[in-house]
Copies of this chain bind each other. A is one copy, B any other.
Amino acid sequence: MNKVLKNCTVLNDDLFLEKKDIYISGDRFVDFVEGDVEDMHSALVLPGLINTHTHAAMTLFRGIAEDVELQEWLSTYIFPREAKLTEEDVYIGSLVGFMEMIKNGITTFVDMYFFQDAVAQAAKDVGMRGIVARGLADVSGHGAEKLEECENFISKHTDDPLIRGGVGPHALYTCSNAYFEKIVRLAHSTNSVLTYHLLESPSERDDYKKRTNVESTDFLDSINAFDERTIIAHGTHLNGKELNLISNRKATLSYSPISNAKLGNGIAPISEALLKGVNVTFGTDSAASNNSLNLFNEMKFGSLIQRAHEENPTLMKMEEVFKMATSNAQKPLPFDVGEIKSGMLADIIVVDTKRLSLMPEKYIKSHLIYSFDTSSIKKVMIGGKWIYDGEFTNVDSCGVMKSFEKAVISIDSRL
């Protein structure tokens, strides 16, 4: 079905406003087509945002423990619950996560978790696009089994319109070197997105070096774990030399400033990474450590914390920050998303700009980064289909919320 969206306001490359009509054929933008006409009455139409690092199912754990040390948080609160999760829990947790992302203007995700079929089903049910990376670790056994699951999931989804499989070795501290190397080979042989946590917390660098006598990043480079399909999550403690390497390898660095701050992991060297030409994007991480799934918050917080840290208000220009959440994030992905132009996938969000916090109107570009409120997002389209227009088109919010609350209570009862 073809669609014509008349009288849209869009942002050009410099984030200036332009009026235009948008034409959609099937799931892509085209130069011109005849079809159902919808008058957008000058509403602002933006490309959907891309969340390059998340664990959607962990909405189940939002708020369970706050203001505690990272190790206590993991071992007392998170791990015991994860050990008890069923496939149904992961489905409902992921669904709530994806619904929240959509309401906040995110149309594409990169997820790392387990019960990957449930994650994918939740995304398809709500109509969302993304990479579902099976989380991989051999520290507590079952490494080979998980890798096989991962490979099967990838081959099952090579032609899926919304979902692709990804390869998600959890981290160097949960995967042996040999296992990590095998995983990277799978990513290369299937041309899949490879994504892993790296140097997220202050102690990881020394811990790895003590164990192996090698720098984490030297090992990773030796197995070609930095390439154009790689998304490094966090990298909070990468140094300048490593940023150069990542830039040269054209790998992507996913910046999760809110999660890094909340867990006390520090401030990632993002303004330096950008200067060195690293492809930087944003990830919300999970609702257990964020606790929102909102890239508009990530853009503002992530930009401002760099300025505060370096006492420099000229860092992190708006245009650059917006690209980090859109076109930069497309680069490692197998989806043509992140821009509204002919040939790209029709993933958009529609914003009502008649709001106090988005005034004066003439400076809307600034308000997108610095005073945006996602309740101004009125509609969301993914692959040419409206999947949200105040209500979700494909799922019953009320029923989902009830099932979710039941699942949370049930998980706690199993502890």
Give the shortest distance, in Å, between A372 (CB) and chain B (any CB): 9
Complex alpha-carbon distance, A371 and B361, angstroms: 27
Closest partner residue, chain B, to A319 (CB atom)? B67
Give the shortest distance, in Å, between A103 (CB) and chain B (any CB): 7
> Could you say which residues of chain B place their CB within 8 Å of the CB of A202?
311
**A360-371 near B? 1/0 per residue, CB < 8 Å:** 111111110111
> Could you say which residues of chain B place their CB within 8 Å of the CB of A357?
100, 292-294
User: In the complex, which of the residues B261, B293, B405 contacts A304, with contact meaning CB atoms closer than 8 Å?
Assistant: B261
Contact A62 B367 (CB under 8 A): yes
Q: Is A334 an interface residue (CB 8 A)?
A: no
Q: Is A241 an interface residue (CB 8 A)?
A: no
User: In the complex, which of the residues B64, B261, B374 contacts A373, with contact meaning CB atoms closer than 8 Å?
Assistant: B374
Binding-face segment, A24-32, A246-254, A263-271: A263-271
Contact A363 B262 (CB under 8 A): no
Give the shortest distance, in Å, between A58 (CB) and chain B (any CB): 12
Give the shortest distance, in Å, between A175 (CB) and chain B (any CB): 25
Contact B401 A370 (CB under 8 A): no
Complex alpha-carbon distance, A401 and B360, angstroms: 9
**A340-376 near B? 1/0 per residue, CB < 8 Å:** 0000000000000010110111111111011101110
Q: Is A258 an interface residue (CB 8 A)?
A: yes
| 6 A–B contacts, CB within 8 A, in A order | A62-B360, A100-B356, A264-B307, A292-B357, A305-B305, A373-B375
| Chain A residues within CB distance 8 Å of chain B | 59-60, 62-64, 66-70, 73, 96, 99-100, 103, 202, 257-258, 260-267, 287, 290-294, 301, 304-305, 307-318, 354, 356-357, 359-367, 369-371, 373-375, 397, 401, 404-405, 408
